Amino acid sequence: MVYFMMGGFPMMVILVFGLLGVVNAARFAWAPGPGRLGYLLALGAGVLFAGIGGVAVDLIAVAVNVPQHPEWIAESGLGLLVLQGVGEALTPLVFSTGMLMAQALLMALGLRRLSD
C-alpha cells in the first residue's frame, strides 16, 4: 500500500485501465478473436502513457515541493531528498509496466490459440 501511495493519483488511473486491460486480455486468451487486438493494444498504450505521464507529474511534485521546504534539505541533504523523490516518482512506470506485462502474456496465450 505504501508503494501505491508513493505514486500518487496517477496510480489510480493506471490501476483502473491496467485492470481493464488485464481482464480483457484474459477474455481474449479464453476466446480469441482478431477483432479484439486493436482494443487491447490501445488499452496497453493508454496504460503505458499513463505510467510515463505519472512519472512526469511526480517529478514535477518533487521539483515544486522540495524548494518550498528548506528544513527538509537541512535535515536530510538535497541529494538524498532528490534521490528519494525520484525513487517515488518512478513508481507509476514500474506499476504500469507490471500491468502491461500481465496483459501481454495473456495476449500471447490468446494469439497462440488463435493461430491453432
Give me the pLDDT at residue 26, please. 97
Structural domain span for residue 87: 2-115
Q: How far is CA 15 from CA 50, 51, 69, 79, 115, in A?
A: 10, 10, 31, 31, 31
Half-sphere exposure of 77 (CA within 13 A, CB side): 3
Give pLDDT tens digits for 4-38: 888 888 999 999 999 999 999 999 999 998 889 99
Number of domains in the chain: 1
Instruction: Kindly report the pTM of this predicted structure.
Output: 0.87
